[in-house]
Amino acid sequence: MIIDGLVYLGSSHFGYELDAASAITGMDGVGTDIAIAVPVHPAGADFGPVNDAVIAAALDSAGRLIPLARVDPWAGDAAVVELRRAVLAGARGLFLHPSEEHFRINDIRVRPIVECAAELGIPVTVSAGFHLFAEGLQLGHAAEWTPDNAFVLTNGGQFNISGLGQFDAELALQNPNVHVQTSGIYREDFLERVVATFGPERLIFASAAPMFEMTYERKRVDLAHFNDVERQLILGGNSARIFGIEE
């Protein structure tokens, strides 16, 4: 079973969009069985309706889409209330986007939300690598709040993909609960080193469509030097374990 660890659904305030039908068509084109779906940042920044829309799309997808809830830490206690409500409605995890919502991932405002996710038994996915908002050391700090709960980082945990950015992402991976996604990582050697150093259980295939292109993102895993067991974990086994998807 092949699972795409991240697709964005909806029409974003920042100009990109993808609907469920188009997402599933794209998945069929590259042989993806299931995708983890997260809401975009909506105009007006009201996350309740977009959480409901992604949950509804997942319910209508015959199991092809797994929904996560997105909240804004600037909402304070209301963000925790919205996370609980969305999980009760069917969300299977928490998604945080520090850059688009303009918060530091290790800001004290974020901690109650991450701790609520751990209490609910759902994993946390973070859009990672953004300067000042979600850099490697900040991400590692936030992951330490709930060491027994899965903490998934997009973009390999960093965008720089060289020097200290890459080094800091590997420091974040020193936390056993941290996993990184393949989306946008052109350094094949970095992906291979994550597996060699931390194990294949820590790397997750994700396209991050429509920010990135599904076919191209799939090739990052297909062309890297992994054995069959490693590739099966990366392409689906790890997401199945983290998000509770039955194979």
Burial of 240 (0-12, 13-18, 19+ CB in 10 A): middle
Q: Where are the domains of the chain?
A: 3-243
pTM of the model: 0.96
> Using CA atoms, how far apart are residues 21 and 29, in angstroms rounded to an integer?
12
From the CB of residue 64, how many other CB atoms can be counted at a distance below 10 Å? 18
Name which of 219, 180, 222, 213 is nearest 198 in CA terms. Answer: 180
- How many C-alpha atoms does 229 have within 13 Å on its Cβ side? 4
Preceding peptide of 210 cis, ω within 30°: yes
Give the C-alpha separation, 180 to 187, whole Å: 14
133: phi then psi, degrees, rounded to nearest 5? -95, -40
pLDDT by residue for the chain (247 residues), tens digit each? 999 999 999 988 888 899 999 999 999 999 999 999 999 999 888 999 999 999 999 999 999 999 999 999 999 999 999 999 999 999 999 999 999 999 999 999 999 999 999 999 999 999 999 889 999 999 999 999 999 999 999 999 987 666 677 889 999 999 999 999 999 998 899 999 999 999 999 999 999 999 999 999 999 999 999 999 999 999 999 999 999 998 7
**Alpha-carbon Rg for the chain in angstroms:** 16
Whether residue 5 contacts residue 153, with contact meaning beta carbons closer than 8 Å, is answered with no
Using an 8 Å Cβ cutoff, are 40 and 12 in contact?
yes
Q: Which two tokens stand for residue 78?
A: 């209301």
Options 3.30.230.70, 3.40.50.300, 3.20.20.140, 3.40.50.620; CATH for 3-243 is: 3.20.20.140
Q: Which residue has the tokens 């795409």?
A: 4
- Residue located via tokens 């209508």: 60
Q: Which helix (H) or strand (E) holds 34?
A: strand 34-39
